[in-house]
């Protein structure tokens, strides 16, 4: 049985460079100058899950993103991994969205793709959390808008039988929970589900010819303004600041033996009981 999937991806500033994120002292906004934009690490695992599903059962993999227009490059990268088509929801009207407004916009995008193709998606994959905001709320809220069951922290996902039943595992603190589900399902994929594939040169070549559709506010004609963008977001951002976590940092110098001697003294002075 072939399955149609959509994968929601978010272009994010490369997490490797977060030490370079600063706050503009005048405008009080975040400056991320010179930090390259990448596909979120967990989003890549979500794409991999969708591609593996298509390889086993057939079907299609669409990629959907709500982002500024320059996200096109990132979507080409995802297409190069193997996705069939990409959709970019880009409009000033979508800007400043919190998780509820973001999930609503993605929901409207999904319904629009479905209406155009006269079908329903079986699986909606998201990365567990984005690397920048990391709220991890969008997949659950997207599930609620779509009215279908949703799981977050999915670390195992396999077909149980040929009747359309799937066995899934979600991570818990110190363990896991096992589920039996059937599509449609919205799944937030944890990074340990799989290792995302590398992009081949052939993939890059093919990606250039794959369809990439850009939709603005006017294209989402079913959407209500009440739930879109900054004005449709129940949460609003206040001040931002860089936390001051600095400590005195006394340097322990000397020979390794002297240093270890000092460490033992420090441990004892702070109430650590030494036991073999």
Residues numbered 224-243 forming contacts with other proteins, rule: CB under 8 A: 227, 233-243
Q: Is 164 in the site for other proteins (CB under 8 A)?
A: no
Applying the rule CB under 8 A, the residues between 38 and 97 that interact with other proteins are: none
DSSP state of 173: T
DSSP state of 200: P
CA atoms of 59 and 93, how far apart (whole Å): 33
Closest CA to 129 of 167, 102, 95, 157: 102
Cis previous bond, 184, omega within 30: yes
Given the rule CB under 8 A, which of 2-10, 111-119, 127-135, 198-206 is the region that contacts other proteins?
A: 127-135
Given the rule CB under 8 A, which of 48-56, 108-116, 216-224, 259-267 is the region that contacts other proteins?
A: 259-267
- Provide, rounded to whole angstroms, the least separation between the CB of residue 193 and other proteins: 13
Among all chains, which residue has been given the structure tokens 């240093």? 259
Given the rule CB under 8 A, which of 3-11, 13-21, 76-84, 213-221 is the region that contacts other proteins?
A: 13-21
Q: Is 98 in the site for other proteins (CB under 8 A)?
A: yes
* Residue 198 or 241 having the CB closest to other proteins: 241
Q: Is 5 in the site for other proteins (CB under 8 A)?
A: no
In DSSP terms, 85 is beta-bridged to 62
Residues 127, 189 contacting (CB under 8 angstroms): yes
Phi, psi of 100 (to 5 degrees): -65, -45
- Provide, rounded to whole angstroms, the least separation between the CB of residue 104 and other proteins: 9
Residue from 34, 36, 73, 180 binding other proteins (CB under 8 A): 180
- Provide, rounded to whole angstroms, the least separation between the CB of residue 150 and other proteins: 6
CA atoms of 176 and 217, how far apart (whole Å): 41
């Amino acid at each position: 049985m072939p399955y149609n999937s959509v994968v929601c991806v978010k272009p994010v500033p490369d997490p490797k460079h977060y030490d370079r994120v600063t706050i503009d002292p005048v405008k009080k906004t975040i400056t991320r100058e010179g930090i390259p934009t990448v596909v979120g690490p967990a989003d890549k695992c979500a794409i991999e899950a969708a591609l593996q599903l298509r390889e086993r059962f057939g079907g299609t993999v669409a990629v959907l993103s709500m982002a500024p227009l320059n996200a096109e490059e990132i979507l080409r990268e995802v297409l190069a991994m193997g996705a069939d088509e990409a959709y970019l929801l880009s409009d000033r009207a979508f800007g400043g969205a919190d998780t509820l407004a973001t999930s609503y916009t993605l929901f409207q995008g999904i319904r629009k793709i479905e209406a155009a193709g006269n079908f329903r998606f079986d699986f909606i994959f998201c990365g567990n959390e984005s690397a920048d905001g990391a709220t991890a709320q969008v997949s659950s809220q997207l599930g609620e808008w779509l009215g279908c069951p949703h799981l977050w922290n999915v670390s195992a996902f396999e077909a149980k039988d040929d009747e359309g039943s799937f066995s899934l595992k979600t991570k818990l603190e110190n363990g896991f929970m096992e589920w039996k589900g059937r599509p449609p399902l919205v799944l937030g994929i944890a990074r340990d589900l799989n290792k995302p594939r590398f992009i081949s040169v052939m993939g890059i070549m093919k990606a250039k010819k794959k369809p990439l559709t850009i939709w603005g506010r006017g294209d989402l004609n079913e959407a209500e303004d009440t739930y879109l963008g900054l004005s449709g977001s129940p949460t609003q951002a206040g001040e931002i600041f860089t936390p001051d976590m600095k400590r005195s940092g006394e340097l322990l110098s000397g020979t390794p033996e002297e240093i270890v001697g000092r460490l033992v003294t420090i441990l004892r002075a702070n109430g650590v009981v030494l036991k073999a």
